[in-house]
Amino acid sequence: MIIKIANTWAEWLVQNGANSDDHEIYAYGAECMLNELFSDK
């Protein structure tokens, strides 16, 4: 679920002017951020 949201977010960034070569980097960053937000610490 988190990976799907991260990929959707990265795709949105690319569609709105971000560099398409960095799609995987955006997706990874979004995934890390979401994991931190939803962690059970």
HEC secondary structure over the chain: CHHHHHHHHHHHHHHCCCCHHHHHHHHHHHHHHHHHHCCCC
CB atoms within 10 A of CB 30: 20
What radius of gyration, in Å, describes the C-alpha atoms of the chain?
Answer: 11
Distance from first CA to last CA of the chain, Å, rounded?
Answer: 19
| Angstrom distance (rounded) from CA 26 to CA 13 | 8
Confidence of residue 41 (pLDDT cuts 50, 70, 90): low
Q: pTM of the prediction?
A: 0.85
Confidence of residue 39 (pLDDT cuts 50, 70, 90): confident
